[in-house]
Amino acid sequence: MSSKPSAVEVRRQFIDFFSKREHRELPSGPVFPQDDPTLLFTNAGMNQFKDVFLGTGTRDYKRAVDTQKCIRVSGKHNDLEEVGVDTYHHTFFEMLGNWSFGDYFKRDAIIWAWELLTEVWKLPKERLWVTVFSGDKTDGLPADEEAEAIWLKETNIDPAHVLRFDRRDNFWEMGETGPCGPCSEIHIDRGDAVTEPLLGANPELGVNAGNERFIELWNLVFMQYNRLGDGSLKELPAKHVDTGMGFERVLSVLQGVHSNYDTDLFAPIFARIGELSGQTYGEDETRDIAFRVIADHMRAVSSALADGALPSNTGRGYVLRRLLRRAARYGRQALGMEEPFLFEVIPAVADVLGQAFPEISGRIEHLQLIVRKEEESFGRTLGRGIIQFDRLADSVAKAKADTLKGEDAFELYATYGFPRDLVELMARERDLKLDASGWERAETEHRNASRSEGAFKQLLSAEDLEGLSPTISTYHPNLESLSAKDFEASLAGRSKVVRVIGEDPALLILASSPFYAESGGQIGDRGVIEDPEGRWSFRVDDTKKMGAVIVHLGELSGSEPSAGDAADCKVDRAHRLPTQRNHTATHLLHSALREVLGEHVAQQ
Ligand code: SER
């Protein structure tokens, strides 16, 4: 590339490359799943396609391309501690991805990736390294010789630059269970490849050794298994491709800068932080970390708030509150910002991210209002935290001891957001020590608690989902276009049993269903599903959806139905109609609120 391409151009080049190869261009999914409070944030581009990989959902296209808003701050993929300290981790980042749903597999994925990098973007191949899966004994999986052979025989990569790594690096899994498969990663050497050409293969200094010289650019995942709850692997019904490229990283490479934070995705945000604080990025490492933390966290918070999240004391709201406090604290400690200022960074964030995600630029005022309120309340909390610290320190002094109990001191972090180094500093000022192992114990417990928050808890386990097809929905809303007679008829129907799972509540899955499954606004239908021959009857207390599978929850009486049994469905009309009216009324209220208060009103 001769001149430096902008972020907007690079994003477009990626999308156009795959659009030309018959991929459907899709908008990013939201940064957190709207209907699933148990998954805190979208942590990979594939989240919105999980049902397709498992075979429980379908799309009307077989290839797709997009840039997905991702946040990695909890659960299996968590980069928070690295953020700000190094120059290439983020809580919020964009993942460029191309997808094949049961269509092309390893060969096209590898050849196209290589073509885009080396022919379109003209990255020198001497700087590129790739990795393939070396196999795993426990899982009984062989090395991925197929991918390795494609790299070696069908691209012009230097054979010495193809390396094997084990499951930690080259077997991608979304969570504890779910779709997974071997992957092939492409890394770039940003160091001096001329004087030390083979350093990439050095286990201490090279690829996957955790340094800033060799960084991963693109991960090509070959989805072919489902990890079940007992840890075993089951072949998926079809094979898929899920690729994810770190947009900020590839941009830094193409713009010829050493850090993601030196690209035009960050420069305008740094300029704004500079204006507000009177400091300049690039002059002092401590202040630079603060600039990076603030810019990163404000990108994450702005995108989550724009998609409808709110700071709170639990779940994803708590994560957002912690990010805001971490940013505010860095602002105070490193940049001397005593007053709320993060809200004034938001317009700069919206300028940059709005190019790809217009939902952010459309809600600036709303975001500013929320962030300002959070900053004000954090200001008060900090004051209370200091009082709490004084109490703690006084009681230690009174007991003529010299050590703050770790568990108590950790509360200053958990409740008031005080980092460990600040607590240690305050302790030193009063000639006290901090009991480090107690702090660490409390921290581990706290982390485990927030990890389980982020786990993919779901209605059906990976085993339950195994082999299910989408349920055919015969649900009809009570529309004017439907005659009263047809509407009544739509509340009943004959179907077939697919599977019954567990009890309390029992879950019944049918081939087709007239029951409305809760999603977003309206709660699920109730009613009865019965054997026409009277051997069993299932009282439906609620209806939910897992991907495209409709799940009836309730109680079974009589004998156990078998797969293939006929099933007569009757939706409870007396429950459906008022539910539907309430749902309509909510929409009317929402629309009135938007008219009076503005477009930023969001239904929660
Ligand atoms: N799912 C893979 C990842 O997140 C590739 O998109 O790295």
DSSP 237-295: EEEEEEEEEEHHHHHHHHTT-SSGGGSTTTHHHHHHHHHHHS--TTS-HHHHHHHHHHH
Rounded Cα–Cα distance for residues 30 and 309 (Å): 11
What are the two backbone dihedrals, phi and then psi, of residue 149, each rounded to the nearest 5 degrees? Answer: -65, -35
Instruction: Name the amino acid, one letter, at 472.
Output: I
Give the lowest-confidence range in 14-28, 112-126, 567-581: 567-581
Structure tokens given for 519 = 């999603």
Confidence of residue 452 (pLDDT cuts 50, 70, 90): very low
DSSP 474-515: ------TTS-HHHHHHHTEEEEEEEEEE-SSSEEEEESEE-S
Does ligand 1 have an atom closer than 6 angstroms to the CB of 352? no
Q: Which of 43, 46, 131 to mutate to test the pocket of ligand 1 (most atoms within 8 A of CB)?
A: 46
Does ligand 1 have an atom closer than 6 angstroms to the CB of 244? yes
pLDDT digits 0-9 by tens, 44-96: 899 899 889 888 889 999 999 999 999 988 555 556 667 888 877 889 999 99
Rounded Cα–Cα distance for residues 167 and 134 (Å): 7
Which ligand 1 atom sits closest to the C-alpha of 45?
Answer: 6
pTM for this prediction: 0.76
3-state secondary structure of 142: coil
Does ligand 1 have an atom closer than 6 angstroms to the CB of 67? no
Residue 251 has pLDDT above 80, yes or no: yes
Structure tokens given for 125 = 């191949």
Q: Which stretch, 26-35, 109-118, 359-368, 590-599, has highest mean pLDDT?
A: 109-118
Residue 237 has pLDDT above 50, yes or no: yes
Q: Which of 79, 183, 218 to mutate to test the pocket of ligand 1 (most atoms within 8 A of CB)?
A: 183
CB 472 within 8 A of CB 56: no
CA of 219 to the centre of ligand 1 (A): 6
3-state secondary structure of 165: strand
CA of 46 to the centre of ligand 1 (A): 7
pLDDT digits 0-9 by tens, 303-343: 999 998 999 877 788 889 889 988 998 898 889 998 999 99
Does ligand 1 have an atom closer than 6 angstroms to the CB of 44? yes
CA angle 583, 306, 458 (to 5 degrees): 60
The region that residue 263 occupies, defined by phi over 0 for left and psi between -120 and 50 for alpha, beta otherwise, is beta
pLDDT, averaged across the chain: 89
Which ligand 1 atom sits closest to the C-alpha of 221?
Answer: 5
CB atoms within 10 A of CB 401: 12
Rounded Cα–Cα distance for residues 352 and 264 (Å): 8
pLDDT digits 0-9 by tens, 341-384: 999 999 999 999 999 999 999 999 999 999 999 999 888 877 78
CA of 367 to the centre of ligand 1 (A): 29
Instruction: Compare 330 and 140 and report the one with higher pLDDT.
Output: 140
Does ligand 1 have an atom closer than 6 angstroms to the CB of 46? yes
What pLDDT does residue 279 have?
Answer: 96
What pLDDT does residue 604 have?
Answer: 61
Rounded Cα–Cα distance for residues 159 and 351 (Å): 43
Residue 110 has pLDDT above 60, yes or no: yes
Which ligand 1 atom sits closest to the C-alpha of 244?
Answer: 6
In this structure, the chain runs to a length of 604
What pLDDT does residue 348 have?
Answer: 98
Structure tokens given for 365 = 């005022």
CB atoms within 10 A of CB 58: 14
Residue 590 has pLDDT above 50, yes or no: yes
Protein residue closest via CA to atom 6 of ligand 1: 244
Q: Which stretch, 39-43, 176-180, 529-533, has highest mean pLDDT?
A: 529-533
pLDDT digits 0-9 by tens, 167-209: 999 999 977 888 899 999 999 998 876 667 678 888 888 999 9
Could you write out the three-class secondary structure of 293-340? HHHHHHHHHHHHHHCCCCCCCCHHHHHHHHHHHHHHHHHHHHHCCCCC
Residue 388 has pLDDT above 60, yes or no: yes
Protein residue closest via CA to atom 2 of ligand 1: 244
CA of 22 to the centre of ligand 1 (A): 21
Give the lowest-confidence range in 270-274, 382-386, 552-556: 382-386
The burial class, CB within 10 Å (0-12 / 13-18 / 19+), for 421 is exposed
CA of 331 to the centre of ligand 1 (A): 32
List the one residue out of 95, 86, 41, 52 whose CA is nearest residue 219: 95
Residue 254 has pLDDT above 70, yes or no: yes
State mean pLDDT over 464-490.
81
Does ligand 1 have an atom closer than 6 angstroms to the CB of 175? no
CA of 530 to the centre of ligand 1 (A): 44
pLDDT digits 0-9 by tens, 405-425: 998 899 888 777 777 777 887
CB 196 within 8 A of CB 86: no
